[in-house]
Structure formats: structure tokens, C-alpha cells
Structure 1
Amino acid sequence: MKLRRLAMLLESLEPHPSPTPKLEQYTITGEDAARFLWLIKDWLEGSVVVDLGCGTGRLTVGAALLGAALAIGVDVDATALNVAKLNASRAGVGDRTSWLRAFIPHLSVKGDIVVQNPPFGVQRRGADKAFIQCALRTAPLSFSLHKRSLRSREFIKGLVKSLGGVAEVVTTLRLRIPHVFSFHEERFRLVEVDVFLFKRGSASPMNAGHEGTTLRAGAQP
């Protein structure tokens, strides 16, 4: 599958019909989701992928489209999960996706890879901490999007280290955040995010498995 085709398919998926600010339910655009997943596509193929805070399933469905053996979407919002199931079916990956309603701090599921676009913590300070902790419990490798800042980088690296892992910034992407809530003043906003790779253990995550695999940071749709 070409990157442009993936972006178009993901953009065609249904968004959340009634997102809430408290949960920071911003639907990632199809193009941004595709860029992120394309960057890590060699890790996804043949893996059990867990998408924490999956929302309406763009990352989950995208992982399945890129060859994941099984993509599991986890969210606390039943409405989002219902939309996600419909999206997976329409994308033709209903048989390789599974959906689980759960609170992230209480989640007990295992996979090969975690992908996540957790809350930035704008509405609830530190909201992303539970996602980082859960990611390290869930899989040996995790790819996670976090709003870029020096303070955030140091916090995340320190937190992952305290949990027995290693965190590295793979690259930086620009996400296009659309107007969703009434307090948004702009049609859309560009936000720089770090793509983190977390690995359990002390070895550099950039050397973890998939020898010879290269991240595809420069890919264009």
C-alpha cells in the first residue's frame, strides 16, 4: 500500500460524533496518522499491535492495513469504540482488529508493539503519564506521540527510566489539529510532536530488534 492511499483511507474514516474536551478527543487527521504509521511500518507487519486511547480507530485500522497480525484498540469511551468497529469493517480489516473498553491505568493486555497518541495534558495535567506507564506494561516496544518541549522530553525520559526502560526521540512531526471545540479560535492549528520510542530494559531502543530496519521519517504521501 502506498502512503498516499493509506492517508486517504484513514481520512475517510468516521470521526467522533460528540468529542469531549475532558478526554482531549481530537481525531488525528488521516494524513498525520498515515505519516506516523508509515514511519514505523516495518515494526507493525506481523505484530500484535495495541493502540492505547484509540478513539475512533485511525491508528488501529492503519496498523491493520499495514500488515499487523492483530490490532487491538483500547479506549474508555463506548461511543468512540462503536465508531471504531464500524470504521474497521468499512476498511476491510474487521477480522484483524479487536476492541476493548477499559481504563488505561487498569488495563491488562499484552502485545508486541504499542502505538499511541495520548492526551497532551492540556485539560488534565499529567494525563499522558498513565499512558506511558501502561505502554511499558503492555509491550516491549512502544511508539508514542507527545507535544514537543524540552521539559516534556526530560520528564518522559526520566519517567521511563524510573520504570526500568529507555526512551528516545525518533523524530519530530507536525500534527494538524482541526477546529473541534467551541473554544477553538482557529480553523486548525499546527502542533509539533515528538515521536518517542520506549523500550523495556536498559539497551538503546534504537537497537531493539528489526535489525536492518530503518525509520521512514522523510516519507511523503
Structure 2
Amino acid sequence: MATKRALAQQLGVVAGFDDPKAPLEQYRTPPELAAHLIHLADLRGDLEGRTVVDLGCGTGMLALGAALRGPERVVGLDLDPDPLRTARDNERKVASSTSVSWVRGDAERAPLSTDPGETTVVMNPPFGAQSGNEHADRAFLATTADLAGVSYSIHNAGSREFVASFADDEGGEVTDSYAAEFELPRQFDHHSDESRTISAEVFRIEWDR
């Protein structure tokens, strides 16, 4: 198994959004954070030989990280066709042994059929920071509860009570969590600073399947 640092270096070539859309909260997941999440999933035996679904995959950071760790199949799902085109280019750069199926679709009504017992979801859903988009991550979790036996997801700091309560309502359980920080560059007009540090939390959930 390659080290977490080596994985982050491999993911460093993954390009971000050419024209990010604020309502969709399109931000590139930092390679270091993606590598941490994927490495943890690999250590827990949640990738190898399984189907991995990246909900709201954007330009493919988490999907491609998973594809480098020996899953049976990887699917990247996103509503916006533009980042999916970038994701296909990124796949060629990363050159993983497992190919990725890039699917255009709404993560809230995912056009996917999976065996939950053999499926892992990885995702960096919208935090719901935009007006009118509050609790956007709730819909992503609801889809995850239908698709997966285990999931790894990134949420805004302070989300543990909400995530744990939602999982419990759906027969799931938060088994692991850790805090994370990453630098968010200025990319929208409403951003006043050149960059700012975002505090986040990553959760592993086992869903009752």
C-alpha cells in the first residue's frame, strides 16, 4: 500500500474547476485531505474489491484517489457536465489501474443501482453555506443511506450532532470522526480574502445493511 503522502502527491495533478459555480459550492478538495480520507478507508478495508461511489464528484479528486487503491469499480456522479469533462482529463493524468465511470446525475436522486453491502460512498458534499441551500449535505446523506454499507464524508465543522442524529435515524452509526482544515482560495466575487482556512470534519458511517 502506498503511503498517504505518496497518494497526496499522485492527486496533486488533479485539476480543479475551470468555472466554479457558487450555488453548487464547487471547491476543489485539497489533495492532502482527499488522501487522508482515502487512506483511512483503505486501512479499514472499505475500498479493495468494492464498488466506490463519489457523490458530487466535481473534478474527481476522491473518485480518483479511491481508484488508486484497488476497488472493483468506481463511479463519479455529478450534476454539472463541465467538471465531469475535467474529471475525465484528470483520470488520464492519474493513470489508475481501476477506471472510473463518470455519470451525470443529481446526487439527491442518484441514477445508480448498487449492492449496499459491497458499496462504499466517499463524498465532499455542499456544506449548505449558500442562502437557499441550507442543509444540502442532508440530501447527500439520504442518498448514501440507500446506496452504501459504509461511507466517508466531509462536512462543515460542528456537524457531528447533526450527522450522528441523521445516521441513527437511518439505522447507521458514526464509527470514526476527525477534524480537518484546508485553505480555500478566493474564487467567487463574495470572497473578500485571497484565501481563508476552512474548518471541517470527516465522518465514517456504517449503514445497517
Report what 1:215 is aligned to.
none
Instruction: Note if 1:127 corresponds to 2:139.
Output: no
**What does 1:34-113 correspond to in 2, within 5 Å?**
34-42=35-43, 43-93=46-96, 96-107=99-110, 108-110=112-114, 112-113=119-120
After alignment, is 117-126 or 180-189 more displaced?
180-189
Structure 2 distance, partners of 1:131, 1:161, is 15
Structure 1 distance, partners of 2:68, 2:58, is 17
Instruction: Note if 1:166 corresponds to 2:173.
Output: yes
Report what 1:206 is aligned to.
none
What TM-score, normalized by structure 1, do the two folds share? 0.84
Contact 1:32 1:176 in 2 (8 A): no
Q: What secondary structure is seen at the aligned counterpart in 2 of 1:40?
A: helix
1:90-143 CA distances to partner (integer Å, 9 max, x unpaired)?
Answer: 211375211111111211332510001111110110111110001111111011
Q: Percent identity?
A: 34
1:48-74 CA distances to partner (integer Å, 9 max, x unpaired)?
Answer: 110000000011011011222221101
How far the C-alpha of 1:169 sits from its partner, in A, is: 4.3
Contact 1:136 1:198 in 2 (8 A): no
Report what 2:190 is aligned to.
183
**What does 1:10-29 correspond to in 2, within 5 Å?**
10-29=11-30
Structure 1: give runs of 5+ residues left out of the alignment: 203-221
Alignment-mate amino acid for residue 151 of structure 2: S
How far the C-alpha of 1:176 sits from its partner, in A, is: 2.3
Structure 1 distance, partners of 2:91, 2:166, is 34
Report what 2:163 is aligned to.
156
Q: Which has the higher contact order (CA 8 A, sep 6+)?
A: 1
Structure 2: give runs of 5+ residues left out of the alignment: none
Runs of 4+ in 1 over 6 A off after TM superposition: none
Count of residues paired in the alignment: 200
Aligned CA distance change for structure 1 residues 95 and 196 (closer, same or farther; 3 Å): closer
Q: What secondary structure is seen at the aligned counterpart in 2 of 1:90?
A: helix
What TM-score, normalized by structure 2, do the two folds share? 0.88
Alignment-mate amino acid for residue 100 of structure 1: V
Alignment-mate amino acid for residue 40 of structure 1: A
